[in-house]
Amino acid sequence: MLDKKLIKEKIKLIQEDLLHLKDYQNLSFDKVARDYVTHKVIERIIEVIINEAIDINQHLIVELGKGKLPFEYKESFLFLAELGILPKKFAEEISRSVGLRNILVHQYRKLDEKIFYHSIKDCLRQYSLYCSYILKYLDKTF
């Protein structure tokens, strides 16, 4: 059964993290790339935001009977487009954030600092939209 309360709690957590991430959006490239603590804080905020969204995606997909775990995290955003929860073009765009999450979590490849720096604003924009799409879906269907 779809747990609307759980989803809304996770959306609230994402929105709170987005507010914290906003504090870093106007920092210079040098500050983000060279300040260890600042870099790690931004990394962690972005990682947590993406993980919360993946959790929401998985819950929606499994509880709506459209898939079974496990499936690729990137695919979870694309599944939401198939379900009509996210627009297809947006789902394709936001699904690419999983690649950054994987680099941050697994450190299997050197992080491109310029991409990381630009990901701050991308994350703010994409995940704000993501939250609004999910909430709109919940309001529309339940």
pTM across the whole model: 0.92
Tokens of 20: 């914290």
- Region 38-47: mean pLDDT is 95
Q: What is the pLDDT of residue 65?
A: 78
Q: What is the pLDDT of residue 134?
A: 98
Three-class HEC string of the chain: CCCHHHHHHHHHHHHHHHHHHHCCCCCCHHHHHHCHHHHHHHHHHHHHHHHHHHHHHHHHHHHCCCCCCCCCHHHHHHHHHHCCCCCHHHHHHHHCHHHHHHHHHHCCCCCCHHHHHHHHHHHHHHHHHHHHHHHHHHHHHC
Q: Which residues are catalytic?
A: 101, 106
Tokens of 36: 């260890």
Superfamily the domain 4-141 falls into: bsu32300-like (1.20.120.580)
Question: Predicted confidence band at 14 (pLDDT cuts at 50, 70, 90)?
Answer: very high
Kindly list the domain boundaries of the chain, sorted by start residue: 4-141
Q: For the chain, first and last CA: distance in Å?
A: 12
Whether the per-residue pLDDT at 45 is higher than 80: the answer is yes
Whether the per-residue pLDDT at 42 is higher than 80: the answer is yes
The b-or-e profile of 108-117 (16+ CB within 10 A means b, else e) is eeeeeeeebb
% of residues, the chain, pLDDT over 90: 75
Average pLDDT, the chain: 91
Q: What is the pLDDT of residue 89?
A: 98
Tokens of 11: 């959306």
Q: What is the pLDDT of residue 81?
A: 95
What are the pLDDT digits (tens) for 65-119?
776 666 688 889 999 999 999 999 999 999 999 888 877 876 756 788 898 999 9
81 close to 50: Cβ distance less than 8 angstroms: no
Q: What is the pLDDT of residue 70?
A: 60
Q: What is the pLDDT of residue 79?
A: 92
